[in-house]
Structure 1
Amino acid sequence: MKDYFIFFKNNSPEIRFGWTLTFLSSFGQTFLISLYVPTLLEQFHISEGFFGGIYAISTVIASILLISIGHTVDHKPIRKVSFYTILALAASTVLLGLSRYHIAILFVALIGLRLNGQALLSHISQTILSKRFQVDRGKALSIASSGFPMGEAVFPVILTSLLIWKGILVTTLSSAAFLLLYLGRLLIFEVKSFDEDLDPSRNTSGKLIVGEFQELLKEKKFWIIAPASMSLSFVTTAYFFYQYVFAEDLNWSVTLYASFFTVYAVCRFVMAFVGGLLVDRYSARKVFRFYLLPITIGMIPLIFTQHIFAALFFLAMAGISQGTAGTVKTAVVAETFGTAKLGAIRSFFNMFMIFSTALGPLVIGMMMDQDFPFYSLILSLALLLFLALLNSQRLSAKKFPKIA
C-alpha cells in the first residue's frame, strides 16, 4: 500500500478528478435508478415487465449515442467534456422527478441518466487516466474505480431516506443540486495535464466513426475481450435488477440480504486496489484471463441451494470480480489497442457493455414470466460466464503484442 500512497501523493489532482467522475456516475447506474422503480410503477400504473422494456430501450439508445460522443475525450478539453456531461446528467435527474406528468419524460430521463451517468462519466475517467499514466496505469485505474463501491455505499442510504421523507421530486432535485454544486468545484480542478495528448485536428465525421467501428469488429482480439465485459455486465445487472424479487420468492429476510451488500461493497473496494497492483505487476492481459473466475464460482452454491448464505457467498465473489474488472477492463484495452484513439475504442466496447446491461434484465425477466425456476436462471447465467471465461484464455501475448 505504500506504493499507492506515494503514487497518490505525487498525482493527487488527476487521481481525485478521475475518482470523482466515477463516484458521480452512480446517478446513472442501475443500483441507484432501481430505488425509484416502486414509485414509478405506482405513478404510471405499469408492470415490472413494461418498465423493464422502457429501461432496456433507453439503455440501448444510450449505448448507440455513446459511440458518437465517446470519441470527444480524444480531442476536446477534458474540463469542457466533463462540464457538459455533468450538466446533462443533472438535467436528466430533474426530468426523472418531473416524469409524473408524462411517461415520455420518463423515457427521455432514463436515456440521459444512462448515457451521461453510467456511460460517459465512467468512460471519461477511465480513458483519461489510461492515457495519462502508462507505467502506473493499474494504480490510477484502481483508485479511480473505488469511486464505484463508494457510491454504492453512500448514495442508496441517503436517497432512500429522502424518498421516504419527501418523495421522488425532492430527491431528484436534491441530486441535481448536488451535481450542479460540483460544477463549481470542477472550475478549480487542475486538469490541464489530461489535455497534453489531445488531437484537435482529428476528423470525427460519422463516416470515419462507422469505418473505425467496422475495422474494430474485424479484429480477433475484440471478440476475445468484448464477450468477457459483456457477460459480466449482463449477469450482474440482471441479478441486481431482480434481487429483491428473488429474495421475496425464496423467503429470504430482505433486511438481512440488504446488509450483505456491505460485504459486496468491501470486496469490490479492496479488489479495486489489489487489481491495480496485479495489473502493474503481471500485466492486464494475464489478470484479464482470470477475473471472471470468482463470480463464476460464486454462482455454484446458488444452483444447488436456496439458502440465503449462498447469496452472501455470491455477493462476496461478485465483488471480487467487479472490483478487479474496474481496473483490468480498461487496462487490457489500452495494452492491446494502444492509447492514441482510446476514447473512440473504449466507446465501442462500452456500447456493447451497456447494451448487455439492457439485455440482461429483459432476458431474465422474460424467463421469469415463463416460470423458470430460480436455479435454472442462475445456471444459465453461470454457463454464460463460464463460456466467456474460456474464450478469454485466447488472449495470448504472443499473438497480440502489447501496445503502449
Structure 2
Amino acid sequence: MVQFLKFIKLNLKPLSYGWLLTFLSSFGQTYLISLYVIHITQAFDITEGTFGAIYAVCTVVSSMIMLSIGHTVDHIPVKKVSFFTILALAMCCILMGLSYHLAFVFLALIGLRLSGQGMLSHISFTILSKYYDKDRGKAISFSTLGFSIGEAILPIIIVSTIAYFDWRIAMIGSGILLLIYLIRLRFTDLSHFDQQLNSFKPSSKSLFKDFFEIIKDKRFLILMPTSFVLSFTATAVIFYQYVFVEQKGWSVTLYASFFTAYAITRLLFSLFGGLWVDRFTAKTLFRFYLIPIGLGLLAFAYINSIIGALIFLILMGITVGMSGTIKTSVLAEVYGIKKLGTIRSLFTMFMVLSTALGPLIIGQMIDMGLSIQIIMISLSLFVLLCILNAQRIKYVPRIKTQL
C-alpha cells in the first residue's frame, strides 16, 4: 500500500483526471438516474414499468452508438473528446430538466447513458491503460475510486436538492455544474495523454472490419461473457433488491444499512485489485474474480437469515471492486493498446447492453412467479459457466501489439 501511495503522489495529475471522468460519469449511471424515477413517472403520468421499458430501450440505443464513437479516443486529442462528451452530458441533463414531452425524455436518457455511463468511463480507462504499462493496474484502480466517491456523495446532494426545490432544478443544476467545469477544462493540459494517438482515422468500413475481426477471434468469446454476466447480474439484483428483501421478510432498514459494507468492500478491493493486477497480471486474476459474486448469489438463495444478504453484498463488493481494473487491463494485455479505444467500445457496448437486459429478464422471471431461490441459483449457474469459460485465457499469449 505504501508503494501505491507513492505512485499516486508521483502521478497525481494524470491520475486525478482519470478519477474525475469516472466521478462525472455518475450523472449517467443507473444509481443516480433511479433517484428521479418516481418524479418522472408522476410528471408524465406513466407507470414504473413503462419508464423501465423506455430506460431499457434508451440504454440499448446508447450502447449501439458507442460502437461508432468509442474509437475517437484512439485518434482525437483527449481534451477535445472529453470536452464534447461532458458538453453532451450537461446538455442532456438540462434537456431532461426542461422536458415536457416523453420524446425529449427519451432523447435525454439516450444522451445520459451514452455520454455518462458509456463514454466518460471509457475515456478514463482507455487513456490510463495507454499511458501506463507497468503500473496500469494501480492507475485504473485509482480511477475507479471516482465511482465510489460519486456513489457516496452525489445521491445525498441530488435527494436534498429535489426535496428543497424540484427534480427539474436538480437536473438543470447538474447540467450547469458540468458546463462550469468545462471552463476549467479549457485551461487543463492533457497533452501527455496524446502520445499514443493514432494518425489514422477509421472509416465506417474499416471500423466494421475491426469489429468483425474482434468478434470472430477466440479472445472475444473468452473475454466478453465475464464482462456481460457481471453487469447483467449486479444491475438486475440491485434493481430488484428491495423486491427480494420484502419477499424474504427482511428488514428494509437493516438491509439498507448493510450497503455500507458493500461500499467499503468495493472501495478496498478497487485498490487491492490494482496492486494485484500489477503483481500477478490481469490475465491471472481474470480467471477467478467472478468467484466471490457467484458464492454470494448462493448465500442469498439458501440463507434465510438477513445475514445471507450481508454475505452477498460483501462478496459482490469484492468482485465489483476488482472488476473495473481487471477488465480494462486484460484487454490491454491481450490485444495491445494501439486500437484499445475501438476494442473497449465494443466490450462497453455489450456491458451497457447487459445492464438493460438484466432488469428486463429478471423482471420477467419475477412476473412468472419464480422464487428468489430459483432466480439466484440461475444467476449463479450463469456466473459458473462464465468462470469455466474464463479458464481458457491461460492459453492466450500476453502481447503489446495492436489487433
The TM-score normalised by the length of structure 1 is 0.96
Determine helix, strand or coil for the equivalent of 2:292: helix
Tell whether 2:195 aligns with 1:196. Answer: yes
Q: Label 1:244 to 1:43 Cα distance change in 2 as closer, same or farther (>3 A).
A: farther
Partners of 1:234 and 1:399 lie apart in 2 by: 25
Q: Deviations over 1:191-212 (max 9, x none)?
A: 1100112123x13211111111
Q: Label 1:8 to 1:190 Cα distance change in 2 as closer, same or farther (>3 A).
A: farther
Q: Deviations over 1:280-318 (max 9, x none)?
A: 001000011111011111111211134322112111111
Partners of 1:209 and 1:194 lie apart in 2 by: 23
Q: Is the 8 A contact 1:130 1:331 kept in 2?
A: yes
CA apart distance, 1:384: 1.2
* Alignment-derived partner of residue 280 in structure 1: 278
* Alignment-derived partner of residue 270 in structure 1: 268
* Alignment-derived partner of residue 176 in structure 1: 175
* Alignment-derived partner of residue 43 in structure 1: 43
Q: Which moved more, 1:72-81 or 1:377-386?
A: 377-386
Instruction: State the one-letter code of the partner of 2:153.
Output: V
Tell whether 2:223 aligns with 1:225. Answer: yes
Partners of 1:98 and 1:186 lie apart in 2 by: 26
Q: Which moved more, 1:34-43 or 1:288-297?
A: 34-43
Q: Is the 8 A contact 1:248 1:254 kept in 2?
A: yes
Determine helix, strand or coil for the equivalent of 2:5: helix
* Alignment-derived partner of residue 133 in structure 2: 134
CA apart distance, 1:114: 0.5
* Alignment-derived partner of residue 147 in structure 2: 148
* Alignment-derived partner of residue 92 in structure 1: 92
Q: Which moved more, 1:42-51 or 1:209-218?
A: 42-51
Q: Is the 8 A contact 2:75 2:201 kept in 1?
A: no
Q: Which moved more, 1:265-274 or 1:179-188?
A: 179-188
CA apart distance, 1:163: 1.8
Instruction: State the one-letter code of the partner of 1:314.
Output: F
Q: 1:346 aligns with which of 340, 344, 347?
A: 344
Q: Is the 8 A contact 1:34 1:241 kept in 2?
A: no
Tell whether 2:377 aligns with 1:379. Answer: yes
Partners of 1:71 and 1:283 lie apart in 2 by: 25
* Alignment-derived partner of residue 241 in structure 2: 243
Partners of 1:156 and 1:172 lie apart in 2 by: 12
Count of aligned pairs: 401
Alignment of 1:306-317 (within 5 A): 306-317=304-315
Q: 1:257 aligns with which of 255, 258, 261?
A: 255
Tell whether 2:18 aligns with 1:18. Answer: yes
* Alignment-derived partner of residue 33 in structure 1: 33
CA apart distance, 1:223: 0.5
Q: Which moved more, 1:227-236 or 1:183-192?
A: 183-192
CA RMSD, Structure 1 to Structure 2 (Å): 1.3
Q: Is the 8 A contact 2:265 2:317 kept in 1?
A: yes
Determine helix, strand or coil for the equivalent of 1:190: coil
Tell whether 2:130 aligns with 1:107. Answer: no
Determine helix, strand or coil for the equivalent of 1:139: helix
Partners of 2:211 and 2:156 lie apart in 1 by: 40
Q: Is the 8 A contact 1:17 1:189 kept in 2?
A: no
Q: Is the 8 A contact 1:294 1:317 kept in 2?
A: yes
Q: Is the 8 A contact 1:14 1:190 kept in 2?
A: no
Q: Label 1:42 to 1:252 Cα distance change in 2 as closer, same or farther (>3 A).
A: farther
Q: Label 1:389 to 1:154 Cα distance change in 2 as closer, same or farther (>3 A).
A: same
Partners of 1:190 and 1:6 lie apart in 2 by: 23
Q: Deviations over 1:120-151 (max 9, x none)?
A: 00000000000000110011001001111111
Q: Is the 8 A contact 1:70 1:344 kept in 2?
A: yes
Q: Deviations over 1:208-258 (max 9, x none)?
A: 111111101111011101000000000011111122233333333333222
CA apart distance, 1:45: 2.7
CA apart distance, 1:371: 1.8
Partners of 1:158 and 1:347 lie apart in 2 by: 31
Instruction: State the one-letter code of the partner of 2:242.
Output: Y
Partners of 2:248 and 2:104 lie apart in 1 by: 35
Q: Is the 8 A contact 2:291 2:387 kept in 1?
A: yes
